[in-house]
Amino acid sequence: MTAPAVGPGGPTAVDGIAHSIAIASGKGGVGKSTVAVNLAVALGQTGAATGLLDADIYGPSIPMMTGVSRMPQSNGQKILPVLAHGVRLMSLGFLMPEGAPTVWRGPMVSGAIQQFLRDVEWGRLDYLLIDLPPGTGDAQLTVAQSIPLTGAVVVMTPQDVAMTIASKAIAMFQQLKVPLLGIIENMSTFMCPHCGTPSAIFKRSGARRASEHFGLPLLAEIPLDPIICQASDRGQPIPIEHPDSPVADAFRRMAGTLAGQIAEKALSIPVIRVGP
């Protein structure tokens, strides 16, 4: 992959946003958007001001997963994000008729993402999570070259093949010089809906092996629980719908681990002193 050249000024920060985190995956079907929604809600429940940008222009799923269908409002100058479950949201799905396909070329996708970053009144945010589409394409390049990302998180499933595909996303961020905050293993074990016993339906610990191979933190192992599918279809994130469940606890622990990673990274940046 050859990345297009960044403009002379390079990525430009969005006023008021302290940390921007890309949520990525090498392929579709790993539950990346589900992770993004529930992680955003879990971060919001810690008291952090949190936003979630749906950058999956061709397949925006954030509206359904958050139970929001209303059109965003405007303050006359910028679009106001939709507030749901304590998180500020923006998605093309809020602006397009339900079921309408997005038949756009790459420059239009890049333009839409730029608008969502610059023309939305995000306000002051501790964290802006950016739910990227799967793969290594226009959306990923646009985000990485538009704003200074605090880092990226890669979501994968436990199989060996998932590690091979996730490695492409990891290599992309390394090439774009975006810090990698860690790996999340989704669908780690299956939680029986009758007895609550976890069962390994995939090969175990694929993300743990990936984290060791790439030298990246393993941020969480999220179990596959039928309540996640049911809650997502109802537009109710797990930390709200089932706050006492093991999977909700996994998302809360992941939120704490990620916040700790970001805080540690911020402390490691050297302070440049000016004057005597």
The fraction of the chain above a pLDDT of 90, given in percent, is 62
pLDDT of residue 195 exceeding 80, the answer is: no
Q: What are the chain's domains?
A: 17-267 (3.40.50.300)
pTM of the full structure = 0.89
CA distances from 178 to 49, 147, 170, 174 (A): 23, 11, 10, 6
pLDDT of residue 276 exceeding 70, the answer is: no
pLDDT of residue 66: 96
pLDDT of residue 89: 98
Q: Are the CB atoms for 90 and 81 separated by under 8 Å?
A: yes
Residues in the chain: 276
pLDDT of residue 124 exceeding 70, the answer is: yes
Interatomic CA distance for residues 156 and 221, integer angstroms:
10
CA distances from 126 to 21, 47, 80, 132, 214 (A): 11, 10, 17, 19, 28
Q: Please, which pLDDT band fits residue 273 given cuts at 50, 70 and 90? A: very low
Interatomic CA distance for residues 185 and 14, integer angstroms:
30
Q: Please, which pLDDT band fits residue 225 given cuts at 50, 70 and 90? A: confident
Q: Are the CB atoms for 222 and 186 separated by under 8 Å?
A: yes
CA distances from 197 to 88, 227, 231, 237 (A): 35, 14, 20, 22
Interatomic CA distance for residues 220 and 35, integer angstroms:
10
pLDDT of residue 126: 97
Query: If you average pLDDT over every residue of the chain, what do you get?
Result: 87
Find the mean pLDDT for residues 161-173: 87
Alpha helices by DSSP H, listed for 82-234, are 106-118, 138-146, 160-175, 206-214, 226-233
Find the mean pLDDT for residues 126-155: 94
pLDDT of residue 3: 42
Q: Give residue-wise pLDDT tens across range 7-42.
A: 456 789 999 999 999 999 988 889 999 999 999 999
